[in-house]
Structure 1
Amino acid sequence: MDMQVSAISWDAVRVVLDGRLDIAGSAKIDIPFNVAAGTNRHVIVDMSAVTFIASIGIRTLVIGAKTVQRRGGKLLLLSPQPDVEQVLETIGVTDLLPIVRDEAEAITAIRS
């Protein structure tokens, strides 16, 4: 799992995840992901290159979302692959981890 963080604005970042968000992938990004969530009001997580998500990966995303929400921000998932999206919808976390289709939709959602 690779992770890249880039600023979108003074209070928002885009986190690009690439690979499998399984136990090994989660272990690799857990701390830097939590740092990104803890230091930014809004986080857009580009999931388009995530090919697999396990419960430990969902845990990483949920902890980040709760961290952001405590400070009045939003964490959004950008363009997850169909299999990953189906897992997230099946377990019912899309209220906490809203899914958006493009970056423009994400920017609109964090500004509303």
Structure 2
Amino acid sequence: MDVAVTDCADGVVLVAVRGALDIDSAPQLREAMHGALDRGRSRIVVDLGDVDFCDSVGLGTFAYSHNRCVAHGGYLRLAAPSPFLAGLLDTVGLTGRIPVHATVSDALTGAPPAPRPRDPIEDAPPS
């Protein structure tokens, strides 16, 4: 996994992640976000556009980092997840706590989060 950190306008930090986010690579992402917090940057956007896999440790990293950002008066926003990852984030309940945006631009500007993915079973007509 590769992680790139960019300081953007208004004190927002963009963390771009590429590859698999799993038990082996999640510490690298956590370290990048903690580094931003240690520099006084508590508004973080994570670009998930190039993430091709995410396990429970990766998901836990989002939850933990979200809590730290909020405790420091900021936020964590997730951006551009694949349809599978967006569904996974919704299934485990993170979209109710962490805003998930369709694009990085929307996340950086604070546009409304993307709508929740449709669940074909939940949305099926009653029998």
TM-score (norm 1): 0.87
Deviations 1:32-71 (A, max 9, x none): 2322244312111000001111110011111111111112
Determine what percentage of the aligned residue pairs are the same residue: 27
Confirm or deny: 8 A CA contact 1:2 1:19 kept in the other structure. Answer: yes
| Runs of 4+ residues over 3 Å off in structure 1 | none
Q: What aligned pairs does 1:22-41 form with structure 2 within 5 A after superposition?
A: 22-38=22-38, 39-41=40-42
Confirm or deny: 8 A CA contact 2:12 2:108 kept in the other structure. Answer: no
Confirm or deny: 8 A CA contact 2:8 2:14 kept in the other structure. Answer: yes
Q: For the residues of structure 2 that align with 1:28 and 1:41, how far apart are their CA atoms?
A: 18
- Name the larger-Rg structure: 2
Deviations 1:1-38 (A, max 9, x none): 11000011242110000011111121333322322244
Equivalent residue for 1:16? 16
Gapped regions of structure 2 (runs ≥ 5): 112-127
Gapped regions of structure 1 (runs ≥ 5): none
Deviations 1:67-100 (A, max 9, x none): 1111221111110011111111001111222111
Q: For the residues of structure 1 that align with 2:10 and 2:45, how far apart are their CA atoms?
A: 14
Confirm or deny: 8 A CA contact 1:52 1:83 kept in the other structure. Answer: no
- Is residue 65 of structure 2 the alignment partner of residue 64 of structure 1? yes
Count of residues in correspondence between the two structures: 110
More strand by share: 1
TM-score (norm 2): 0.78
